[in-house]
Amino acid sequence: MILVFLEVREEKIKKSSLEALSHAKRRAGEMSTEANAVLVGKDLNNFASEALRYGAAKVYILENPLLAQYSPSGFTLALISLIKEIGPEIIFFSATSMGKDLAPRVAAKLGVGLASDCISTASKGEKLEVGRPIFAGKALATLTFKSSPAIATLRPNVFPLIDSGETQGEVVKKTVNLSEEDVKDKVIEILKEEGTELDVTEADIVISGGRGMKGPENFGLLQELSSLFPHSAIGASRAAVDAGWIDHQHQVGQTGKTVSPNVYLAFGISGATQHLAGMGTSKFIVAVNKDSEAPIFKSADFGIVGDLFEVIPVLREELKKVLS
Amino acid sequence: MNIFLFVKRVPDTESKIRIDHEKNRIIEEDLNFVLSPYDEYSVEEALRLREANGGKVVAFSVGQEESLVILRKCLAMGVDEAVLLKDDSPEAYDGLRIARIIVQSLKKKFTDYNLLLFGKQSVGADNSQVPSMVASLLDLPQVNVVTKLKIEGDRGTAYREIEGASEKVTFPLPAVLSAQKGLNEPRYETLKGIMMAKRKEIPVITTEDLGLNKEELSAQLEILKIESPSPRKAGKIIKEDPGEAARKLITFLRAEAKII
| A-chain residue closest to B183, CA distance | A248
C-beta atoms of A263 and B143 within 8 A: no
Average pLDDT of A227-232?
93
Q: For residue B174, is the peptide bond before it cis, meaning its omega torsion is within 30 degrees of 0? A: yes
pLDDT digit string, tens, across residues A9-23 = 999 999 999 999 999
Across the range A284-300, mean pLDDT stands at 96
C-alpha distance from A225 to closest chain B C-alpha (Å): 13
**What CATH number is given for A2-183 in this structure?**
3.40.50.620
Query: Does CATH place domain B3-217 in 3.40.50.620?
Result: yes
Fold match flag (A2-183 vs A205-323): yes
CB-nearest partner of A305 from B38, B181, B239: B239
Half-sphere exposure of A145 (CA within 13 A, CB side): 26
Give B224→chain A minimum CA distance, Å: 5
Which of B212, B217, B221, B254 would you mutate first to test chain A, the one with the most A CBs within 10 A? B221
The answer to whether the Cβ–Cβ distance between B182 and A248 falls below 8 Å is: yes
A134, A145, A263 ranked by CB distance to B126: nearest? A134
- Per 3-state DSSP, chain A is made up of helix, strand and coil in percentages (nearest 5) of 35, 30, 35
Contacts A–B by Cβ distance under 8 A: 284
For chain B, the residue count is 260
pLDDT at A196: 61
**Per-residue pLDDT tens for B104-147?**
999 999 999 999 999 999 999 999 999 999 999 999 999 999 99
Q: Does A306 touch chain B (CB under 8 A)?
A: yes
Tell me the pLDDT tens digit for each residue of A265-279.
999 999 999 999 899
Comparing CA positions, the residue from B168, B178, B193, B174 lying closest to residue B79 is B193
Look up residue B172 and give its DSSP letter.
E
Q: What percent of chain B has pLDDT over 70?
A: 100
| ipTM score of complex | 0.96
pLDDT at B231: 82
For residue range A179-199, list pLDDT tens digits in order.
Answer: 999 999 999 999 987 666 689
User: Which residues in A lie closer than 8 A to residue B167 (C-beta atoms)?
Assistant: 70, 187, 189-191
Do the Cβ atoms of B136 and A117 come within 8 Å? no
Q: Does A191 contact B170 at a Cβ distance shorter than 8 Å?
A: no
3-class secondary structure, B211: coil
Max Cα–Cα distance, chain A, nearest Å: 62
User: Chain A interface, mutation test: which of B18, B162, B185, B218, most A Cβ atoms within 10 Å?
Assistant: B162
* CB pair distance less than 8 Å for B14 and A272: yes
The DSSP code sequence of A106-145 is HHHHHT--EEEEESEEEEETTEEEEEEEEGGGTEEEEEEE
- Taking domain A205-323, whether its CATH number is 3.30.1490.100 is answered by no
Average pLDDT, chain B: 96
A262 shares contact with chain B (CB less than 8 Å) = yes
> Cα(A162)–Cα(A152) distance, rounded to whole angstroms?
20
Q: Is A146 on the interface with B (CB under 8 A)?
A: yes
- Mean pLDDT for A98-121 is 98
Task: Compute the nearest-CA separation of B67 from chain A (Å).
Answer: 19
Cα A127 to Cα B157: distance, rounded to the nearest angstrom? 42
Distance, in angstroms, between A101 CA and closest chain B CA? 7
Contact A42, A64 (CB under 8 A): yes
Every domain of chain A and the residues it spans: 2-183, 205-323
Q: Do A191 and B165 touch (CB under 8 A)?
A: yes
- With CA atoms as reference, report the closest residue to A295 among B237, B101, B169: B237
According to the model, what pLDDT value does residue A324 have? 75
B163 contact residues in A (CB cutoff 8 A): 9, 96-97, 198-199, 201-202
Q: Which of the residues in chain B have pLDDT under 50?
A: none
A139-145/A127-134 β-pairing: antiparallel
Any chain B CB within 8 A of the CB of A112? yes
Q: For testing the chain A interface, which of B132, B161, B173, B227 should be mutated: the one with the most A CBs within 10 Å?
A: B132
